[in-house]
Amino acid sequence: MQKTRSLLVSMLSAAVLQLPSGVLEPTIPDQNPLTPEKVTLGRQLYFEKRLSADGTVSCATCHDPQQGFADGHPVGVGIKNQTGARNSPTVLYSGFNEVQFWDGRAPTLEEQAKQPLVNPVEMGQPSHDAVVKAVSAIPEYTDAFKAAFGSPAVNIERIAQAIASFERTVAPFTSPFDRFLAGQKDAISDSAKRGFVLFQGKARCVTCHEFNNSFPYFTDNKFHNIGVAMKGNFEQLAREAQSVPGKGAETQQAALAHKPGVEALGRWIVTRQPKDVGAFKTPTLRNVTLTAPYMHDGSQKTLEEVMDFYNKGGEPNPNLDGGIRPLNLTKEEIGDVIEWMKSLTDETGGKNFDWEQLKELSRKTRAGEIVAAP
Amino acid sequence: MAKYTLPKERAWQQYLTERDGLFRTLPRMSRREFFRSAARAAAAATVAWNGIPPHSFQLVNVAEAKETPPKFTFAYVSDSHILDKGMNHRFIRACQKAVEDVNALDPQPDFVLFGGDLAQLGKPEELTIGQGILKTLKAPVRMMVGEHDWYLDLGEKWREMFGEPTYSFDHKGVHFVVLNSVIVEDYWTEPKMTPMERMLAMAQLDNPHGRPFTVGEAQRDWLKKDLAKVSKKTPIIVFSHSPLYKYYRPWNFWTDDAEAVQQLLAPFDTVTVIHAHTHQPLTNRIKNITFHGVLSTAWPWPYAPKGLPALTVQMVRADPFNQFDGCGWGSVTALESGQVNKHYALWDRNPMDVTFERVSQGPKGEAEQAAQFKGNVSWPSY
Amino acid sequence: MGRMHRILTVTAAMAVVCGVTGLVAYGDGPQHELPAPADGHSKVVGLCDGKTSVTVPGVAPGERMDATTARKVADELMGKYDEGLQLAHGGSEHTQRETRVWEAELKRTIDEGYKWFHSNELGTNGISCDMCHPDASNTHPESYPKFQTQLKQVALLRDMINWCIENPLEGPKLAGDDPKMKALEAYILSTRKGVALEPGKH
């Protein structure tokens, strides 16, 4: 029974999400098969500012289709202009991550979607019940919930499932590099081609920014300490970590992840293992030209800065990943790698979503022209 | 993935209770202790989605070991194999990294043992660089010689810089003996090998024409006399570069007169041998003697195809992408009983502890070994 | 004609015939002399054993066969092939000289590989392969091709050799046709003689 259901799930999902040949399907929870109705509802909820406590912040605020589904800021800015501690990751291709957040504390997109809703510096709701209440009070959603889930009942699981379903379709595969891989040899410049060779060789990138036909997303889904923001006194940080209130591991982890200073402990916050101190998840390189500034704290503004950081061997600290070492790349080689990274920028939404439409929706909801996405 | 056996809720409760325990003791900990103790705590939170079996959130604080309190701790840095190729060379940086880590310990260890093979090719420049790095250690240093230090000039420079390689000392009721256990039969004089040829021959671990390490009759005589003055109840700790037992002859993981040396140590109640050369976590027990190998700062050796002692829990194979993987430093805590707990401070991995309690339980069955082994998995897995 | 004269004439005639035959045979060493086509005009294809052949009706000598016909011809030849002694090179057995050359050349290549495996000159930082792989342990050549986690793609043994030279040894990659690469592979493979192939094994 289980096997049949999974097969059905993946067949349905395949109809909604189209992947280039040889690319493995993302892992979709059995309870949330991908359907067009869920994607539609999810898109509406994605732009819905009334999900936040004061009606000013939606998912699209920090994960803006106009800004590569990020926000152009070093760290997220939530309700009442409060800043968080971490850079907003892009939603592009996020459906292919094994876990979500820089420290991997959410195992699925569904779980991730629930956290900003109740984060005091993000959407600031006192509880998930408040979110459910807010959505239930909007009559426009009744039909959408019915179409997506079979009944108009609103609960936090359904909200998260719809948003996650929408996010899973944000996977374009329309970059010049994708065309190059498909056989169009002049899709990228010679410099970019050299950059790709360096990426796999001398620059030692591919071992963490995993890339192959089956998994073309430039991340190994693992956590590495490359030394960004490793300037704290960790004994002190650990003591602070214990004083953060919160019931249950999830809330506490989220709170720690947003406490400036403490958040630098990274993956350690989730696993409590010493080898994870200061380690953060390898992000994708796709659309990296759209998602500046870089690193988990947005501390590096340009790709040149990023390349120089790696070229010098990261930032020394007691827990620096042993794979990080000075690269001795020449200025030209760095230029080639950056040229190649530029070729990873998607041009349209491709077969899976309408990027122009989403940019329009973002513009309109920000300008207040519309309250919610149709 | 191994299946976890505790019902989910019970595991969760256990996890929460023990996690609170961790947070309560955090203020009392030094940075390094904090890292060490947090190692014993796998997050049961990850059980839900990663399916990793929950270990209990146990704080095995060395200072509160159940069966017998500790008397003192010493640290070790070993097998640095320094090459004179610029101060940015990875072997030099690794040695410095170990020294920094040991210096960050709070409280400081009573002393630091250097386990041998300070130089790679026995050159004076290499030994000098190494000495310079070790001089920055805050705690006092006890030196031990390895074959890479010795065979370029048969120990001339070593003696000049560090004194006689064979000696003993007493510390807080424990009698320490330091041996030069890399003596080999002369095979270089007759073919008129140059000093560097001899050194290179000794430096090649898998040298098919190598001769086995020995302690030798002269040192065994010295040891006999030295031990005659020591009460049988006094705990003995022997520092030796070669293992003082027979593990794998082709790689000289071997001491040819091991039985003779062990016999000299047989009358004593508690004996521990701390040895180097093997660059890997290694545990053995022969009669009254426990043997612990130490880590190298420079590179890990693979486990030998034969002869691995049954007590040893192997570390996962190192990833060559990571220049520090499988390497590190460590410490030894001498207990009131005279036995020791061994701590491996592996870089980029969770630390490994081999307590005497564990050693006295004997070799674990395969399933248990696998379970203990899983807690120490490093990334990436192959 | 005298009797002697007749014998001489016959002998001379035979000598001429044999001589002519000898000239034809001398050419490039032993050749597979294809018989005449069974039907008198079609293509004849010979097998490398120097003995077996088959006529291909409907195909002229020098004409290229289509894939189906070629397949049938190959099947027929292999069907007629007498397994017996595997002969090559136009039907002669391997000579002792040849066998000695093979062994000597292989040994030389493997020894060369042993030397490079233990040399710190492949890299620039003094590290040699035998430091992590004494006696070529943990090289597992029988597990290739496999997805190599450091490369994040499928690799052959030589790809991993080059990766190790570039990364832990910090040296320049070897070209595909570099004799050092051939030697290194030869040595590593020679240490795993008899071990079953297991591509993809991790």
What digits encode the pLDDT tens for the residues A109-157? 999 999 999 999 999 999 999 999 999 999 999 999 999 999 999 999 9
* The pLDDT value given to residue C7: 53
ipTM: 0.85
pLDDT band (50, 70, 90) for residue B48? very low
User: Could you state, in order of their start, the residue ranges of all structural domains in chain C?
Assistant: 31-93, 96-190
* The pLDDT value given to residue C15: 46
User: Could you state, in order of their start, the residue ranges of all structural domains in chain B?
Assistant: 8-59, 63-374
Dist CA A101 CA A126 (whole Å): 21
How far is B170 from chain C, CA to nearest CA, in Å? 36
- Which of the listed ranges A19-23, B9-13, B94-98 does the model predict with the highest average pLDDT? B94-98
Residue C45: Cβ-neighbour burial (10 angstroms; 0-12, 13-18, 19+): middle
C149 at interface of A, judged by CB pairs closer than 8 A? yes
Specify the CATH number for the domain of residue A297.
1.10.760.10
**Count of helix runs (H) and strand runs (E) in chain C:** 5, 4
Is pLDDT above 60 for A189? yes
pLDDT band (50, 70, 90) for residue C93? confident
When scoring C143, C146, C149 by the number of chain B Cβ atoms within 10 A, the one with the most, hence best to mutate, is C149
Is pLDDT above 60 for C18? no
* The pLDDT value given to residue C90: 65
Q: What is the largest CA-CA distance in chain A?
A: 61
Amino acid at B312: T
Interface of B with C in 309-368 (CB under 8 A): 317-321, 323
Q: Which residues of C touch A323 (CB under 8 A)?
A: none
Q: How many CA atoms lie within 13 A of A148 on its CB side?
A: 33
When scoring B249, B317, B321 by the number of chain C Cβ atoms within 10 A, the one with the most, hence best to mutate, is B321
Q: Mean pLDDT score of chain B, rounded to an integer? A: 84
More confidently predicted of A323 and C87: A323
Instruction: Report the pLDDT averaged over residues A90-97.
Output: 97
DSSP 3-state assignment of B331? strand
Is pLDDT above 90 for A258? no
C151: nearest CB among A202, A206, A220: A206
How far is C153 from chain A, CA to nearest CA, in Å? 6
Which of these CATH numbers, 3.40.309.10, 3.40.50.2000, 3.60.21.10, 2.40.30.20, describes B63-374?
3.60.21.10
Is pLDDT above 60 for B32? no
When scoring C147, C150, C152 by the number of chain A Cβ atoms within 10 A, the one with the most, hence best to mutate, is C152
More confidently predicted of B22 and A12: A12
Q: Which residues of C touch A324 (CB under 8 A)?
A: none
Same domain, A138 and A261: no
Domain that holds residue A74: 2-172+350-367
* The pLDDT value given to residue A319: 87
Locate all alpha helices (DSSP H) within chain A, ordered by sequence: 2-16, 36-46, 59-62, 109-117, 128-136, 141-149, 156-168, 176-181, 190-200, 234-242, 248-257, 268-271, 303-311, 331-342, 355-367
Tokens standing for C43? 């293509």
Q: What is the CA radius of gyration of chain C?
A: 28
Interface of B with A in 301-340 (CB under 8 A): 319, 321-325
pLDDT band (50, 70, 90) for residue A244? low
Tokens standing for C124? 């620039």
Same domain, A18 and A165: yes
C132: nearest CB among B83, B89, B299: B299
Dist CA A194 CA A207 (whole Å): 18
Same domain, A79 and A223: no
* C193 touches C139 (CB < 8 A): no
* A54 touches A65 (CB < 8 A): no
A326 at interface of B, judged by CB pairs closer than 8 A? yes
Residues 6 or more apart whose CB falls under 8 angstroms from that of B149 comprise B116, B117, B118, B119, B122, B127, B155, B158
Is pLDDT above 70 for B44? no
CA angle C105, C111, C113 (to 5 degrees): 105
Same domain, A112 and A72: yes
Tokens standing for B251? 């790689």
Dihedral of alpha carbons A309, A75, A175, A33, sign: positive
Contact partners for chain B, using 3 or more CB pairs closer than 8 A, are A, C
Task: Give domain status of residue A373, yes or no.
Answer: no
pLDDT band (50, 70, 90) for residue A247? low
Would the CB atoms of A211 and C166 count as touching at under 8 Å?
no
A321: nearest CB among B31, B100, B348: B348
> Percentages helix, strand, coil for chain C, rounded to the nearest 5?
45, 10, 45
Is pLDDT above 60 for B101? yes
Is pLDDT above 70 for C29? no
Task: Give domain status of residue A313, yes or no.
Answer: yes
C152 at interface of A, judged by CB pairs closer than 8 A? yes
pLDDT band (50, 70, 90) for residue B4? very low
CATH class of the domain comprising C96-190: mainly alpha
* The pLDDT value given to residue B51: 30
A201: nearest CB among C147, C153, C166: C166
pTM above 0.90, yes or no: no
Number of structural domains (chain A) is 3
Tokens standing for A360? 């329009």
Would the CB atoms of B325 and A322 count as touching at under 8 Å?
yes
Q: What is the pLDDT of residues C111-120, one digit of tens each?
A: 999 999 999 9
